[in-house]
Each structure stands twice: as structure tokens, then as C-alpha cells.
Structure 1
Amino acid sequence: MDVSLAQALAWRLERHFLVAGARSVTEVVRRLGAVPAWSGDPGLATGRRSARPSSDALAGALSDGDLIRTYAFRGATHLLAADDAGVYLAVRCANRQWELPSWQAHYKLSPRDWPALREVVRDVVAHRPVRHAELIERVANYPRFRHLRAALADPSHTLLKPLAWQGDLCFGPVQDGQITFQSPAASPRWTGIPDLHEAGRRAILAYLAAYGPATRDNLRYWLVAGLSAGRRRLDGWIGDLIQDHIAEIQVDGSPMLHLREHLASLTAAAPKPEGVILLPGYDQWMLGAGTADHRIVPAARRPAVTRGANVALQAGQVSATWNIDRGVVAVSWFAEVERPSREELDDEVERLSGLLGRDFTMTIAVS
């Protein structure tokens, strides 16, 4: 089976809710797998994909426990759907980083110490959100872990991250400008950490449901570079799913993987080159595939996208960057890409105005 890249990107735009919006921000986050909370604009990223965007939708979903905020991909903070979060955290734990000799030497913690440390942390956050300082004091109050005070206080949270990956804590609501930590079980939709191999297969299927058709390199970027799954382990999971769940297809002659259940909708996808979509920097449209994927991000334009430039999509490909300066949306259209009509850009800037609650004018330059 061979489909065009234009068809593949048209199908993916639909799956990303960039053609027709989702019913809720939770549906958006679940479909994308994760939404970065450490940078970019998660409110704009989810709002642009929502049928009825609301400025307080993310806060409401976090408060209700539909979403959790925790350390996930690349050790950075992400929003995850609470009922799917355990899948990605299980994969993130695959390399058991805290058991490396360098970790044991630096933190003076052996693998035998971790069950007790985890139990203490779970007890601290079991009943309510606690501020960082309280977490430090209550853990360090145990003689066995007194030496961890400085490490726990490190603003990089390096020692806290494996505790988040194992489902012992996640971020709670901000209190008086200070972060808190709570148990992910504070969400009624938290389902715990599944078996690693079950989680790995589920993560692959979820990825292809949103980012397919995808190359094996795309999957390695997502689950190996992003979550430390391990290349050999990932290839084994893919092998388990080939035939029954995953089909090997060609996209403009390049081998890719796609879910069998979505083959019919892929072949029926109708490319629509018209229309412009403005997305914030670090949006999952680019990060999910990886900025090195030249099908999405032109190679010559990758540095700006990697640094977090806001982008404009045309037919699913990054075709411009943009920024806001004193009420003006300044669009820098790539010289090598055919420029859209002024009306198409005006329509998207008007949508951006609605999402951000501000009126904007627009300028267009060629870069």
C-alpha cells in the first residue's frame, strides 16, 4: 500500500484535532500522549485543538483530576491524561536510571534503599498536596534519608524525577506562588503503573493513532530518546504488534508504520493544501515526530523550531514562524514556500485573537 505524504499529513491533522476541534482538553492531551508544560504555551496548544476553547479549561481539567502534571518525556514537565499517564511513566522507568552506579555513588542510595524511600514519599503526599519545603523536611526527618536534604532541595528536582516516574508523586496545585506535590492517586482516574511490556505496546499503538504514518525513527525518537525505552526493547514491541495491529506501508515510497484499523481512513484522507494553522513553539505537531523529521520541519529551518519558535503550518508542514509584538502578529513566511492568501492568514489571526482574548493586526514578511 502506498499513499502520498500529503494524504498522510492530512490524516494526521485530523487526528490532532486541527481540522475539527476536540470536545475537551483532556481528549486533546490523551490523543497527543502528552503536552509540554515546561515551555511553549500549553493553553494555546490545547485551545487551538478544542471545539469550544476556554481560558480555564486546563486548570479545570487539572483540578478535576482528568489531567495530571508530572515529569515524563526527557525528564521535563508534561500534562498527561490521568488514565493514560501510567503507560508513559512505566516506559520511562524502563532503564531504571536510579540504579546506575553513578546515581548510587552520587546520592549514596543503593537499589535496596529505594523501596523505603518511595514508601516515605508516598506517605508524605498521601492525603493532601505538600509544598516542596515540607516534603524535604518530612523525608529528611528519617535518619536513613537525612543526607538527601540538599539533593531533595535541588531546583532541578533530579532526585524527585524517578519518584514521579514510578507514580509516587506528581505536581499539585500552586499555593501562594509555590509548587506543591501530591499523589497521582488524588485523581480518581489514575490507574497506576502497568506492566512494562503491556505499557510499551500500548504506547506504540497510541503514538501511531495520533502521529501515524510514522517511521521507526519517529518511534525511537518518541519512546527511546523521549522515555528511555531502549532500542532493542522497542523493536521487540513493534515485532509483537506487526501483522495483527500494525501494517507496513509506503508513504511516497518511504517505509512507514500505520495502524491497520486506520488504513481505510488514511486512504480516504483528502489533502487540503489551503488554510494556515498557527501553533505555539514546542507544539507536539513538531515534537511528536521530532524536529529532525524533514517531512514536517524543513532541514534549513530546524534550528529556529528547535529553539521554540512559534510556527505556521500549511498542509501540515512548517512554512513560517511568527511572534506577537505590541498587538501585531508578525509572520515570517519562508521564501521557499508558496505564500498563502492574505485572507487565509487573516482568518487564522482572527482565531488566534479569540483564543488569546486580544485583538491583533498582522504583518507578513518573507524570510
Structure 2
Amino acid sequence: MMLTWDSVLAWRMRRQFLDRPKSPSTEEIVRRLCGIQSQVKSNAELTVAVRSPDPVKDAVQRGVAGKELVRTWAMRGTLHTLSTRDAPAYLSLLASTRTWEKGAWQKSFLDAPRMAELAEAVQAELDGAVLTREDLVAAVERRTKDSTISEAVKSGWGAVLKPLAWQGYLCNGNGDDGRVTFTSPATYLPGWPGLPEPEEAARVVIPAYLSAYGPAGPDVFNRWISRGALKKTTLRQWFADLGDTLTEVDVEGETLWIRTEDAESLAATPPTDMFRLLPAFDQYVLGMGTDDTRVIPAHHRKDVSKTAGWIAPVVVDAGRVTGVWESTETSLSITLFPDSPKPAEEAVNIETAHLNLLLSGPNERSVTIS
């Protein structure tokens, strides 16, 4: 089966709900996107809202409060919101990397005995409890009597807590008052099953990823989920074990994988002229990575992937990133890449009107394109 990148990008936009079909639920959107990055809560809300024809205010926070969604450290060590029913599979694959057992990691953070002590303390203290970081630090120090461990827990980056999240020992609590809290998914989330074996988890996560970001290969999947930390031989075996549920396709000379059930819809998808303004850290960009030159031209990557890990809000035209945008309370400024085509005026007006409804402050903003 031979495909073009024009049709693949059109298919991905539709699969990621960027055509705004009638009223998918918040959980459906989060599941389809394989989770949404949630370092900045307002961006997570926008990621869902730009995919809905009738967005609901604070939809993600409502899902977290209702426990159908869970916020925790996940892909690439960043904070994500996941569907509660899918989270164990994603965490299992992340836990299988065992990155915290590597010498370089232990030298930078905590050695193996202290990590084991921390894990034991956190499991005991969060059992049936929801604690702020300050309360958790105090509880860990009280239980371990080791200030080295409690100082590591204080770190705002959460380096020593991420491995505990991946092993299913902690997740964020509701935090609807703005505070960051931690709890145990086993006692906080109804019906939490614990983590499946990695081989079982791979049978869930790999097809889910391909259903939104395919066609793709094992290396791209590896970079997306763990910054390449999964063993390549193991990952190739997981792809092979999926057997007939996956199919190889040729995309302009590159051999990649899709779910077999998606072959017909991919073949039938024509190129698109869809125009969208997507928020910072949107999954359309993160799902394939900012180094995917089919989506972001190589010489414009620096315009999207900024310092300190910031991923800019992007302009997407016909499946490709053609610029960036920013907003204030009174204005919305679109900056197209110099070598990008100018979008149709009607498409820009429709999209900026939709975005105005979602941004904080007054609904009407002046729009400039440069």
C-alpha cells in the first residue's frame, strides 16, 4: 500500500479530532491523543477545546475531578493527563525503562537504596491520603529520617517522583484549588487494576499511538514515549508480536506501520485544506516530535521548539506547521513563516473566532497576520 504525506497528514488531523466532529467527550479526545501534556493546565484545556465544536469550560479539570482522567508524570517524564482506564498501560511501558536504576541517574539524584526507601515511604504515606508536596516532604523525612531523600522530593522538577509515578505509586490529586497534591492511584481511583506486564501494555499502547499518529515506526514511538529509553530489540519484538493487527505501508518511499483496520480510511483520505490554530504543547506537534520535517520544516524548528522546553502555539495549514501565534487580552497575532503560503481569509476568520471563545479575557481580539 502506497501513501503520500499529504493524505497521511490529512488523515492524522481528522483522527485527532481537528475536524471537530460533533461532541466527542473529553475522555474520548484524551484517549485518542494518547494523553495530553499538562505542565500548563490552561494549555491542556485548550488542547481539548480546539477539538470540540462546542467546548466546555474547564473540561479537563472536570474529568480529573470526576476521576475518569488522571494527571501524572508520563511520556518523556512530563506531566500528562491520561484516561484513567488507559493510564496503567502507558505507565507500565515507562516503568519498564528502569531509567532510575542507571548509574548516571543515581549519581545525579538518589542512589538505589535511597530510592527504594523513598518508594516504600511514599506508598505508606499516600495510602488513602491526599498530600501537598510540603506535606509529602515532611512525611517522607519523618518516616525515613534522611534529609537527603526529603531534599530530593522538594525539587520542583519532580525528578525522584517521576519513577514512582511510572510504577503506579503516586499520581496527582484533584487540586481544584490550584495546589499540587499527590495521592496513591490504588486508593484514589476506583477500580485501579495496577500495572500490566509490559508485553501486555504494548498491545494496548502501540495500536493506540498508531491510531492517531500513524503511519509511524518503532523509533518514533520510542522517542515519543520515553525519549528513546526503551530497548530497541524489545520494541521491535512488541511490534512484531502484534502480527496481523499491524500492516506495513509505503509513504513516499519510507516503510512505516499502521493499524490494519485503518488501511481503508487512510487510502480513501484526500489531502486537506484544513486550517487550525493550535495551543502551546499541542499533541499534533508532540505526537511525532518537533524534529519531524514533514510537519515542521527543519529550518523553522527553532520557531516552534523554544528554550527551556517551551513548545509554541502553532499555525497548521493542510497538515503542516506554517507559523506560530500568540495572544494578549486584546489581540491575537499570527506570524507566518516567510516561505509559507498565505491562508484563505475566511479560514482565518473562522478559526480566530473559535479561538476567541476559548481564550481568557474579552471575546473580541484584534487579529494581525504578518
TM-score (norm 1): 0.91
Distance 1:177 1:332, change over 3 A: closer
Give the equivalent residue in structure 2 for 1:258: 258
Pairwise CA distance, 1:200? 2.3
Where 1:244 maps in the other structure, the secondary structure is: helix
Residues 298-330 of structure 1: CA distance to partner in whole angstroms, max 9, x if unpaired?
111111111222111111110121111452211
Select 2:364's aligned residue among 338, 344, 359. 359
Pairwise CA distance, 1:266? 0.9
Q: Does 2:169 align with 1:164?
A: no
Select 1:187's aligned residue among 179, 186, 189. 189
Give the equivalent residue in structure 1 for 2:65: 63
Pairwise CA distance, 1:224? 4.3
Select 1:48's aligned residue among 47, 50, 53. 50
Distance 1:235 1:328 in 2: 48
Where 1:141 maps in the other structure, the secondary structure is: helix
Aligned pairs for 1:164-243 (under 5 A) are 164-174=165-175, 177-185=178-186, 186-188=188-190, 190-225=192-227, 228-241=229-242, 243=243
Q: Does 2:285 align with 1:277?
A: no
User: Tell me, which stretches of 5 or more residues in structure 1 are unaligned?
Assistant: none
Where 1:330 maps in the other structure, the secondary structure is: strand
Letter in 1 for 2:124: D
Distance 2:98 2:3 in 1: 40
Where 1:41 maps in the other structure, the secondary structure is: helix
Distance 1:116 1:309 in 2: 39
Q: Does 2:327 align with 1:324?
A: yes
Distance 1:177 1:337, change over 3 A: closer
Pairwise CA distance, 1:297? 0.6
Residues 167-219 of structure 1: CA distance to partner in whole angstroms, max 9, x if unpaired?
11111133765321111231225332110111123221111011011234322
Letter in 2 for 1:287: L
> Bigger CA drift: 63-72 or 18-27?
18-27
Residues 107-127 of structure 1: CA distance to partner in whole angstroms, max 9, x if unpaired?
66436x656643432231122
Give the equivalent residue in structure 2 for 1:35: 36
Where 2:338 maps in the other structure, the secondary structure is: coil
Give the equivalent residue in structure 2 for 1:286: 285
Distance 1:38 1:108, change over 3 A: closer
Contact 2:77 2:226 in 1 (8 A): no
Contact 2:61 2:176 in 1 (8 A): no
Letter in 2 for 1:137: A
Residues 325-366 of structure 1: CA distance to partner in whole angstroms, max 9, x if unpaired?
45221111223222122111011000101222622221111x
Residues 29-56 of structure 1: CA distance to partner in whole angstroms, max 9, x if unpaired?
1111121111471111111112431112
Contact 1:281 1:305 in 2 (8 A): no
Where 1:192 maps in the other structure, the secondary structure is: coil
Distance 1:177 1:351, change over 3 A: closer
Residues 267-287 of structure 1: CA distance to partner in whole angstroms, max 9, x if unpaired?
1113222x3100012211011
Distance 1:17 1:143, change over 3 A: closer
Letter in 1 for 2:248: E
Q: Does 2:325 align with 1:336?
A: no
Where 1:323 maps in the other structure, the secondary structure is: strand
Distance 1:27 1:191, change over 3 A: farther
Letter in 2 for 1:252: E
Where 1:142 maps in the other structure, the secondary structure is: helix
Pairwise CA distance, 1:82? 0.9
Aligned pairs for 1:137-156 (under 5 A) are 137-143=138-144, 145=146, 147-156=148-157
Kindly report the root-mean-square deviation, in angstroms, between the aligned alpha carbons of the 2 structures. Answer: 2.2
Letter in 1 for 2:86: D
Where 1:33 maps in the other structure, the secondary structure is: coil
Pairwise CA distance, 1:293? 0.7
Q: Does 2:93 align with 1:94?
A: no
Give the equivalent residue in structure 2 for 1:244: 244
Letter in 2 for 1:289: M
Distance 1:56 1:102 in 2: 40
Distance 2:288 2:108 in 1: 34
Distance 1:251 1:124 in 2: 51
Letter in 2 for 1:45: T
Distance 1:41 1:341 in 2: 26
Where 2:324 maps in the other structure, the secondary structure is: strand
Distance 1:245 1:168, change over 3 A: same
Pairwise CA distance, 1:101? 3.3
Distance 1:300 1:78, change over 3 A: same
Distance 1:166 1:152, change over 3 A: same
Contact 2:110 2:152 in 1 (8 A): no
Aligned pairs for 1:99-118 (under 5 A) are 99-104=101-106, 109-110=111-112, 117-118=118-119
Contact 1:172 1:182 in 2 (8 A): yes
